[in-house]
Amino acid sequence: MDDENELDPDLVIEVARQIDAAAKQAADANELVDRFHLPEDNGPLRSVAMAFGYSEAKPKSGKSEGHFGPCISLNDGSQYPPPLDQLPPEESALWEAVANAVTEPVARARLNDIAFEAKWGHPGKHARAAIESYLSVPARPTHHFDEAGKLRANIAAVKSLARALDLARLIKATDQSEAALAAAEKAAAGAMNGTSPGPGVVLGLIEILVNDAAPADRVLPLLEKARAVYTGNTFITVAAIDLQLRVAGLSREQREQLRRDTVQTWIAEAERNSGAVRMAHLETAVKIARKYSFNDLVDEITGALQAITVDELGLVRSSLPIEIPREAVEGYLDHITGASSWHDALRLLISAPPSGNVDSNRSAVAEGMSLAPLRALFPKVRLGGDGLPRYTASSEDEKIEWQLAEIEIRLAHVQAPLIAEALRRIWRKWGPIPENDLASFLSKNSHVQQALGRALARDFLRHFGGDAEGAAYSTAPRVEALARAITLAIPLPVYRTQREKTPGQYPGLGALMPGLIEAGLDESWGRYITTLLASPIGENLRNELLHGFVSEVGELATALILVAALYLAIGVQLREDPPNDIDSQAAEPPAH
């Protein structure tokens, strides 16, 4: 740059000297700032120090835009360090001059790379200088660093070689491209032959070759050796296999064997562990086996999963006591029993779903994930009554759905004792209620046939008579019958279409509810019914009951099931026009 001629040469040399001194003690470019003895004023050294505060994008061959970004972005739009094109001319001139004067590889690479990105002076010359410096980073002495510093230096070496290759491809410097590949290959082989800087670093070096589509005979021997050297490290072995699968030219048989190796690796890791950890690794193995239709391995892993007992999992039950003021409880119950008839009292029971309002619950999920972001990162696993994993939430959307179901379950559990007591008081005040009267009430809406209404009446009478367990087992499938009746009455195509495609099989409650919600069923109620009875993310109580995984059913669980049936029977009223729509009708909620 022409402005460089206006700079004081002695100033440039002094700033370069201080940067080189700091760079000798820094494991990577970002740590370099911590090694400066910066003056209080905004002098030249403080200005150049900003160059080492940028975050770096992951190298993407063929793309140079935006490699250096701010490490801090504020709501007012300000950024630190500022975008390169917003630097004052006198600062950019100083940075470029110092880039030409420093000698330490970490500092020289960063400053010349910035000069190339910003297109200062002769960009190609800066790019070559940056590449040469990046290639020198792995050869830096690291003996004076502590263990953490050595790890950072080794990671910096991997990133430096990757960036060197990236720059070389951008400026079409074939000689430097090959030098970067050869350096990565040599560093990976050397690390495995001598004192290893860590398996992750080795694979990072090999990945440089894989990303550049290096020939198989150049990459596969390194990966095979990495698997042999780190054979006891499951995560590194799996990562090495993933890299092998990315190598071009493998036969179909070779790819299948590598995928089988991945499954077997997770099985071996599971066998080295016990309890919940063993189960988690077996679950990972069986998912991969199912994905690639390795049915023999699926059978083997499923047998191993089934052999794990609930006691072996080492689970600890935790509880969160919630205190509800007695006056609030009595106010709610008095509102129910203060109705003019048992008909109105039952209607009041479905004034709102026990799991709460879905919009409020979603807001609570968002707030909880923002307050505890680290907790939200971990996968969530729901176990079934048999102790086997029923659902694992891994993706961001799955974790949000899992958290939403958690809130719905907790709210329903809080409401269950109130509903159970309300049912007891209804029976105490108006019972005994004749079966015919109860059946007539439950079948008053057009979608509930009289036979189904009578069956529901018997379910309620079982509960009122003290047989909560019998009522739970008989009511749970009736909820699905009600959902099916509504689906046919609207009508929605899901039921008849699935029946025609799979004769002898019925779409379950979980398959019916999304269509009903889309047709107009209150979403909060729809989610309550799904989470309680049909969703593997939630309680899944219908399936747990009917598959024999629940050994004892109490009054509280039965009360929640009865409320679900009551809502679908009398809380949903079909509309004549338009034909494919529903009105969700319920009494006004009681005032609390």
Q: What is the DSSP string of 432-446?
A: SPPHHHHHHHHT-ST
Query: How do residues 225-275 score in pLDDT, each as one tens digit?
Result: 999 988 888 999 999 999 999 998 899 999 999 999 999 999 999 899 887
The one-letter amino acid at 562: L
Q: What is the pTM of this model?
A: 0.59
The CA-atom distances, in angstroms, between 199 and each of 152, 188, 222, 235, 240 are: 14, 10, 12, 10, 10
Given a cut of 50, whether residue 62 has pLDDT beyond it is no
The one-letter amino acid at 401: E
pLDDT at 314: 59
Q: How many CB atoms lie within 10 A of CB 94?
A: 25
Given a cut of 60, whether residue 373 has pLDDT beyond it is no
pLDDT at 520: 86
Q: Which two tokens stand for residue 199?
A: 């398996």
**Residue 280 parent element (H or E):** helix 275-291
pLDDT band at 392 (very low <50, low <70, confident <90, very high): low
Given a cut of 50, whether residue 3 has pLDDT beyond it is no
Lowest mean pLDDT among 145-154, 316-325, 374-383, 405-414: 374-383
Query: How do residues 265-309 score in pLDDT, each as one tens digit?
Result: 999 998 998 877 888 888 889 889 989 999 999 888 888 877 777
Rounded-to-5 percentages of helix, strand, coil across the chain: 65, 5, 30
Given a cut of 50, whether residue 361 has pLDDT beyond it is yes
Percent of the chain with pLDDT over 70: 82
pLDDT at 534: 83
Q: Is 535 left (phi over 0), alpha (psi -120 to 50) or beta?
A: beta
Lowest mean pLDDT among 231-235, 484-488, 490-494: 490-494
Query: How do residues 526-582 score in pLDDT, each as one tens digit?
Result: 999 988 888 777 777 777 777 666 667 888 989 999 999 999 999 887 765 444 456
Write phi, then psi, for 536 (nearest 5 degrees).
Answer: -65, -15
Given a cut of 90, whether residue 100 has pLDDT beyond it is yes
pLDDT at 576: 53
Lowest mean pLDDT among 49-58, 383-392, 435-444: 383-392
pLDDT at 311: 66
Instruction: Give me the half-sphere count of Cα atoms (radius 13 Å) on the Cβ side of residue 303.
Output: 6
Lowest mean pLDDT among 104-113, 334-343, 453-462, 535-544: 535-544
Query: How do residues 190-214 score in pLDDT, each as one tens digit?
Result: 888 865 556 678 899 999 999 988 8
Ordered by start, the domain boundaries in the chain are 1-172, 347-584
Mean pLDDT of the chain: 82
Given a cut of 50, whether residue 589 has pLDDT beyond it is no
The average pLDDT across 52-81 equals 75
The average pLDDT across 75-94 equals 88
pLDDT at 140: 85
DSSP string covering 213-271, please? T--HHHHHHHHHHHHHHTTT-HHHHHHHHHHHHTSTT--HHHHHHHHHHHHHHHHHHHH
Which of 315, 565, 538, 564 has the alpha carbon at shortest distance from 407? 538
Do residues 313 and 276 make contact, with C-beta atoms less than 8 angstroms apart?
yes
pLDDT at 64: 45
End-to-end, the C-alpha distance of the chain in Å comes to: 74
Between residues 417 and 378, the one the model is more confident about? 417
CA distance 43 to 53: 16
